Amino acid sequence: SQELEQSPQSLIVQEGKNLTINCTSSKTLYGLYWYKQKYGEGLIFLMMLQKGGEEKSHEKITAKLDEKKQQSSLHITASQPSHAGIYLCGAYGGGADGLTFGKGTHLIIQP
Amino acid sequence: SAVISQKPSRDICQRGTSLTIQCQVDSQVTMMFWYRQQPGQSLTLIATANQGSEATYESGFVIDKFPISRPNLTFSTLTVSNMSPEDSSIYLCSVDGLVADTQYFGPGTRLTVL
């Protein structure tokens, strides 16, 4: 079965600084989703990457897919308190169109 | 994007009882999914809810414990049966988005079993 490893597990960043979160898959990626979750709440869809080399942006968040490395990175520029939360990557795994998720990256923004 | 609501938003239940969670979507969708998020953990897919046929369960999840209904293209229910404290989790439903290659999630149901 597919496994997704996210790094780092947690991240404390000063407001205004840039940061990067990585998601590495144990198998070929056919589609990689990024979500944000506020503690104890549902998931907010950020973006989905499908093609190698694809790059998408959502406000100050940019994600890239490196198909060869079976990896995706999420980059936040000039971080703000509103960026705090848990970032989860998900990919098509063994289920019928359901997603396999990484364990998440807890992001804290310090003022 | 699809607007998804779940009921109840949270509940505290006694061991041995059952709880049915509802998931309502504001538009017709083909695929609906149920996930579990245990405390401090990531999401795990429980099953895919198919309209007009039985749900497809992932390894480690069985129909007797998590019966699912999908009576139409906008609604599904997940029942957590004979609950134990280990069932304390957030349960989330999700749907394939109307826009290709998106998958949207409901707000979740926070379940605590005493």
With CA atoms as reference, report the closest residue to A14 among A74, A73, A94, A78: A78
- Of the pLDDT bands very low, low, confident and very high (cuts 50, 70, 90), residue A68 is confident
- Of the pLDDT bands very low, low, confident and very high (cuts 50, 70, 90), residue B24 is very high
Q: Rounded mean pLDDT of A57-64?
A: 92
A29 or B89: whose pLDDT is higher? B89
What residues in A contact B105, CB-CB < 8 Å? 35, 42-45
- Of the pLDDT bands very low, low, confident and very high (cuts 50, 70, 90), residue B38 is very high
Q: Rounded mean pLDDT of B16-23?
A: 98
A13 has a chain B CB within 8 A of its CB:
no
B65: exposed, middle or buried (Cβ count in 10 Å: 0-12, 13-18, 19+):
middle
Look at residue B19 in the predicted model and tell me its pLDDT: 98
Look at residue A93 in the predicted model and tell me its pLDDT: 61
Joined tokens for residue B81: 């049966």
- Of the pLDDT bands very low, low, confident and very high (cuts 50, 70, 90), residue B53 is confident
- Of the pLDDT bands very low, low, confident and very high (cuts 50, 70, 90), residue B54 is confident
Look at residue B100 in the predicted model and tell me its pLDDT: 60
- State the residue for tokens 């949207």: B104
| Cβ neighbours of B18 (radius 10 Å) | 12
Q: How many CB pairs under 8 A join A and B?
A: 65
**Contact (Cβ atoms closer than 8 angstroms) between residue B68 and residue B80:** no
Q: What are the tens digits of pLDDT across the range B95-106? A: 986 566 678 899
Q: What are the tens digits of pLDDT across the range A88-100? A: 999 976 555 688 8
Mean model confidence pLDDT for chain B? 91
Handedness of CA A59, A60, A66, A72 (dihedral sign): negative
CA-to-CA distance for B99 and A70, rounded, in angstroms? 25
Do β-strands A10-14 and A105-110 pair in parallel, antiparallel, or remain unpaired? parallel
Lowest mean pLDDT among A94-103, B1-10, B84-93: A94-103
CA-to-CA distance for A35 and B95, rounded, in angstroms? 14
Joined tokens for residue A80: 């703000």
SS (H, E, C) chain A: CCCEEEECCEEEEECCCCEEEEEEECCCCCCEEEEEECCCCCEEEEEEECCCCCEEEECCEEEEEECCCCEEEEEECCCCHHHCEEEEEEEECCCCCCEEECCCEEEEEEC
For residue B77, pLDDT beyond 90: yes
A3 has a chain B CB within 8 A of its CB:
no
**Contact (Cβ atoms closer than 8 angstroms) between residue B84 and residue B29:** no
Q: What are the tens digits of pLDDT across the range A12-54? A: 999 999 999 999 999 888 789 999 998 777 899 899 898 778 8
What residues in A contact B101, CB-CB < 8 Å? 31, 48, 50
Most A CBs within 10 Å, among B105, B109, B110, to test the A interface:
B105
Look at residue A92 in the predicted model and tell me its pLDDT: 78
What residues in B contact A54, CB-CB < 8 Å? none
